[in-house]
Each structure stands twice: as C-alpha cells, then as structure tokens.
Amino acid sequence: MPAPDPAERPPGDRHVPVLLDRCVELLAPALQPRADGAAPVVVDTTLGMGGHSEALLERLPAARLVAIDRDPQALAIAGARLERFGERATLVRAVYDELPDVLADLRVREVHGVLMDLGVSSLQLDEVDRGFSYARDAPLDMRMDPTSGLTAADVLNTYDARDLSRVLHVYGEEKFARRIADNVVRDRAREPFSGTLRLVDLVRDSIPAAARRTGGNPAKRTFQALRIEVNGELDALRAAVPAALDALAVGGRLVVMSYQSLEDRIVKQTLAAATTSTAPPGLPFEPPEHAPRFQLLTRGAERAGEDELASNPRSAPVRLRAAERVRPGRVPAPGGRA
C-alpha cells in the first residue's frame, strides 16, 4: 500500500516540533521552582499545534504557560492537546507583536521564558486549502488568520507592477522579481489569479532555464514573499523580539527559531543590540547603566543536526538563537540606545 498522505493524517499526529529538546534545554534553567512559590511563566508566542508547549509543560512541572497564535484552527487543535494541563495553560488569540497587551490583560508583570518559532506552521503548510504550499493547487490565500486581511490573490490582482516587484525582491530576495511582476500584471488582465498552480507555472516560465536548475522549486521565493506581505510578518517580528526581551525577568531566557535569512537578520540585530554595551567608546570603565542587559546563550545561529534532519526534513533551514537577561532595564533598538 502507498504511504498515507501527511495532509490526510490528524494534525497533531503529523506535527514534529523543530529542535524540541534543545528548546527545552535552553529554557529549563529559567523555569525552575521559584523561591517565592510563584509559578515561573513561559510564553510560546507561536503556539501552532502545541508541540513545544506540551513538552515545556510536561518536562517543567513548575511552569505556567501563556500561548499565543493568530490562527483559530491552530488554537483549537492545541487547546485540545493541552487541555489536560488545566489552569497551567492559557491560550490567547493574538499576533506575537501584541505580547505586551496580552500580558497586561492577564496581569502578568514579567515572564521567565519566551519561545518564538517563526514562519509558517506545519498545520498551515499541510492544510491544502490555506494556499501556503506550491505543491498542490489551492486558493491563493496564505493568511495565518483566515478570517481577516488581504489574501495572496488580492495582492497579485491589485498591486501594480512596481509594488509587486518590490514585494518579491525585498521579501523573497527574488532576482527576477520585475519579470515575474510584469507577467502577473499582463496575465491578470486576461483572468484574475485565484489558484496556486497557475502562479507556480507563471513563475517557472518567468525565470530563465539556467536559473531553474538549482535551488529547488523556483516558486518558493515568490510564495515566501507573498506570505510575508499578506501577514505583515517582518513588521510584527521587528516589534515582537524587543517586546519579548523587555518582558523577561532577570534570569529569564528567550529562544527564537528562524527559517529564512530576513527573519534571522532581524533576530540577530536585535540580540546584538541587547548584548552590547551602550557606553561611549574610549571610556576607561563601563558605567553600570551602560552594561548590556542580556548575554547570548548560543554562538551564532545553531542548526539542526543529522538525526533531526533525518526525522524532520522541515528543520533543514532552521536558525536558533537564544539570550538570557542578566540586568534590568529596557532593551535598546538595533543601532540605538536604551
């Protein structure tokens, strides 16, 4: 018999959390029982189907979880998965850059761990009608919250060639962005775009044959760019990482997993600002108020090992970075001051 289609299995069964053991290992020191008896709080800002959250609650029994996701389907699946933990798990529908508001609503003054698993989730990739995958024909949607906002079809059918080219070039790092954009504008005059495979065919035909021989499916950069534009992902991330750092208590830890260079660059720059002294150069000593608020827990970005890659191919592009708060104080913006 042929192997069952992953998209036809129950969502929880097909979800393999990326770098699960490493995430728990990095967060565990901050989520031990506290001297005052209060539960340490860990925030999963990208709940998805709840694999990471479930492991944190199982392995760190002192911890209380606040989990955030914008996708109502993900919240329903993860909610059923985490129901056995009762009041230890609080699930909130929100985007991760709304973290300060979520914590304020819950009257949580500070947290002790934050996990951010960025990008598109396994649920969204495997649910064909969400339109995130270029492997099958589906409506061009790509919204992480399917109840609101522009769809990918809206972007393709309404942006002019210049704006569409900008999206593909900046968010997809696509060398042939203008050629693809011009062809989209030409073809939509005949018939608006509605399905993924028509876009895949157009992208393939827009890229020279020599450039299609390497790098996988030539449509992947276009799909990445449209997804980022539809969901405002990079703008949300630029706000979310500093917000997560600011929410951490001294000794608290942040773990971020990125899956493409644009995400990782934002995370790297924000952590660099948080772990760098703000003292003017040339001072004979570092005033305490200028000392870094955080220290890095990883050297560069960590990658998935061979065993993980064999069991979970979707871990191939992951870049993991982590930091720990060592002093109080607000986090400086990249290139700025506290």
pLDDT confidence band for 6 (50 / 70 / 90): very low
pLDDT confidence band for 1 (50 / 70 / 90): very low
Annotated binding site for S-adenosyl-L-methionine: 50-52, 69, 96, 117, 124
- Residue 209 is encoded by which pair of tokens? 């044959």
- Residue 91 is encoded by which pair of tokens? 């699930």
> pLDDT, tens digit, for every residue of 248-261?
999 999 999 999 99
> pLDDT, tens digit, for every residue of 110-131?
999 999 999 776 655 556 556 6
Estimate the crossing angle of helix 177-190 against helix 196-206, to 10 degrees: 130
Q: How many residues does the chain have?
A: 338
Answer whether residue 280 shows pLDDT above 70: yes
- Residue 222 is encoded by which pair of tokens? 């276009």
Q: Which CATH number applies to 128-231?
A: 1.10.150.170
What are phi and psi for residue 281, nearest 5 degrees?
-65, 145
Average of per-residue pLDDT across 240-268:
96
pLDDT of residue 338: 46
The pTM of the full predicted model, rounded to 2 decimals, is 0.89
List the strands of the sheet with 248-258, edge to edge: 89-93, 64-69, 41-44, 111-117, 248-258, 319-325, 294-296
Task: Write down the architecture of domain 6-123+233-325 according to CATH.
Answer: 3-Layer(aba) Sandwich (3.40)
Answer whether residue 44 shows pLDDT above 80: yes
Q: Between the ranges 5-9, 21-25, 218-222, where is the mean pLDDT highest?
A: 21-25
Kindly report the average pLDDT of the chain as a whole number.
89
Domain spans, the chain: 6-123+233-325, 128-231
Annotated binding site: 50-52, 69, 96, 117, 124
d(CA 108, CA 110): 6
Is the model more confident about 282 or about 102? 102
DSSP result, 218-234: TTHHHHHHHHHHHHTHH
DSSP result, 248-294: EEEEEEEEEEE-SHHHHHHHHHHHHHHTS--SPTT-SS--GGGS-SE
pLDDT confidence band for 205 (50 / 70 / 90): very high
**Residue 256 in contact with residue 237, Cβ under 8 Å?**
no
pLDDT of residue 45: 97
pLDDT of residue 131: 63
Answer whether residue 3 shows pLDDT above 50: no
Among 129, 99, 126, residue whose Cα is nearest residue 14: 126
